[in-house]
Each structure stands twice: as C-alpha cells, then as structure tokens.
A = this chain, B = another copy of it.
Amino acid sequence: MTDLAVTNRESLPGLDDVRDAAARIAAHVRVTPVLDSRELDARVGARLHFKCEHLQHGGAFKYRGASHAVWSLDDASAARGVVTHSSGNHGRAVALAAAKRGIPAHVVIPEGAVRSKVAAIEAAGARVYRCAPTQAAREAETERVRAGTGAQLVHPYADPRIIAGQGTVALELLRQVPSLDALLVPVGGGGLAAGCAVAARALRPGLRLYGAEPAGADDTARSLRAGERVTDVLPQTICDGLRATVGAPNFAILQAHGVKVLTVTDTQVLEAMRLLWSELRQVVEPSSATVLAVVMAYPEEFAGQDIGLVLTGGNVDLDDLPFA
C-alpha cells in the first residue's frame, strides 16, 4: 500500500482493523494515562478527560500508527526499510519503530521544521533528507528515496495502516472512560481523527465526534463545508503538527462519520496551552492545545458533558515556550 490516493470505500479501515492494530502494537506502545482537573472543569462547565498521548513513546500518538505500519511488514519488505516525509513527530515515530524492529528508516524533512524534532529523528537513528517546505517537494523527494532504496512508504496519515493504528487511541480511551458524551481530537492530515472516528462510531454510535483545527490551517473545516477536499489552503499557524492537508481517505472517513470540525485562532491556542500547564501540569505542543481551545471557544457545544480530549504531542522546547 504505497498509493496516497486511497479513496475507494472498501479499502478504508473499520473497527476490526483498529482492533487488529491494537493487538499488533500492544507490546510496543504505552497505555497512556487520562488526566483531569477540577479547576479546568469548573472553568469550562464540563468534565474534561485528557488522553495523554504526549506521554506516548516518542512524545506523540504517532508512535501507534508508525508501530502498526512497521510491524505489519513481512520480513522481506521490512528488511528494505521504511521511508516517510514528516516535519516532526511522525518522522520520529517511524524512526523509533524501525529502530525497535532493527530495520532502516529514511525520513524526508521539509526546511523550517522544529529543530528539536529534527534532532530527535536523527537521534533515533534515521537517515534524514531535507527538501523544500511544499507538499510537492516532500512527495517528490520521498519517491526518489523510495525508488532508490526499495523502502516501504509509511505515509503520515493517508494510509489505512496508519489510520487503524491511530484509532487505537479511541479504543483505549473508551475503555478508560466509558461515560464519554463527545470525543475531540486535533485535525492535521486526519490520521488520528479518521482512526478515532472509525473506532468510536462503531463502538458508541451516539458519541459526538469533533475535530479541532487551527483557523490558519482550516482545510478540513472548509472541505467538510464544500463537500469535497479543499487542497489550496496555505497553512499559517503556530500549530506545527497541524499544517498538513487532510488526506483523501481521511476526509472520506470524517465525512462519512459526521465529524464536526471547529476552528480556533493561535491566540486561543496559546491561552489553552498555558492553562494546560497551570491547571493540568502538562506542557504540550500548540497542536495539542487546540482541543481545550475549542471547548473554551464553543461552550454551547460542550456544556455539562463528559468530553474526551486527545493531547497529541509534547515535543516542545521548555526554553522556547511560545506563551512564556
């Protein structure tokens, strides 16, 4: 499965795929804790359950999908390694998962990526390639490396193995907090959002599903309004993990399962990021803080309910916090 444009419905992952992924990665991933804060609950008038994927190996949920993809390969394919393009957490996750399986990892990184994330990818043992910060340059360089090495492409989000792997977040959270009324996750390329939608909709048909998107990278919200993928949004946001354009299979899943995507400004994200520190005691990436920002910006959607919120990553530099 190296085709990025998987849109035919029968190839989209379902609950069984998410369950298979959970079984395959159980020995590798961490069961992350769920934290809450009376102070935050009082402030927003709802009960917030934060799924702490920033405490996952590699500091982000991405290790779930990457582990699933890497451990799904047969030995002969695996031996040729894996290749991906990523500005950060997915690249690190693929590098870590490949290192654990003992196979080569190649990561194409666009210029402008967060320095500490690039360093982490290199520290995990991956071979790094730089390219211009456009989607076209990323894909061209990735294809060049793939053709030259025979490595398997592990796309950051438009890949059923990745979607199923990320969906294990919802599987786990619904076991930890069965009482949820709504589930709210950040949306970038849509790997996590699609995987969680697949799992949650099948397990709990009445659960309300939400995505949080930066107003400066709102291609998914626009796509859902337009009824088709809008791919010409030029992202401008501090949420470096959410700048990707929603993938085709991801969009199809979000649309099919009625996921509602709400947007927040960078200012709202920074306020939420600071509150997550002062009240929840967790330092997370701007991308992670979008979910709390959405709850605060749209109280009418969430008041009085039990909300599951996924904190997706914690790879931010304490010496360079955007809100300090």
A→B interface (CB under 8 Å) = 33, 35, 38, 54-55, 57, 59, 277, 281-283, 314, 318-319, 321, 324
Contact = CB atoms under 8 A, between A and B. Distances in A.
Contacts of A324: 318-319
B281 A55 contact: yes
Nearest to A38: B57
A281 B283 contact: yes
Smallest CB-CB A-B distances: 5 pairs? A33-B33, A281-B314, A319-B324, A277-B318, A55-B281
**By CB atoms of chain B within 10 A, which of A281, A283, A319, A324 has the most?**
A281
Contacts of A283: 277, 281, 283, 318
Contacts of A318: 277, 283, 318, 321, 324
15 contacts: A33-B33, A33-B35, A35-B55, A38-B57, A54-B281, A59-B281, A277-B283, A277-B318, A281-B282, A281-B283, A283-B283, A283-B318, A318-B318, A318-B321, A319-B324
Nearest to A277: B318
Copies of chain A in the complex = 2
Contacts of A314: 281
A203 B112 CA distance: 55
A38 B96 CA distance: 12
A16 to B, nearest CB: 30
Contacts of A321: 318
Contacts of A282: 281
A272 to B, nearest CB: 15
A54 B277 CA distance: 12
Contacts of A319: 324
Contacts of A38: 57
Nearest to A33: B33
A88 to B, nearest CB: 16
A30 to B, nearest CB: 8
A218 B3 CA distance: 64
Contacts of A55: 35, 281
Contacts of A54: 281
A52 B285 CA distance: 21
A35 B318 CA distance: 20
A43 to B, nearest CB: 14
A108 to B, nearest CB: 25
Given A281-B283, A319-B324, 6 more contacts: A38-B57, A55-B281, A277-B283, A277-B318, A281-B314, A318-B318
A59 B279 CA distance: 9
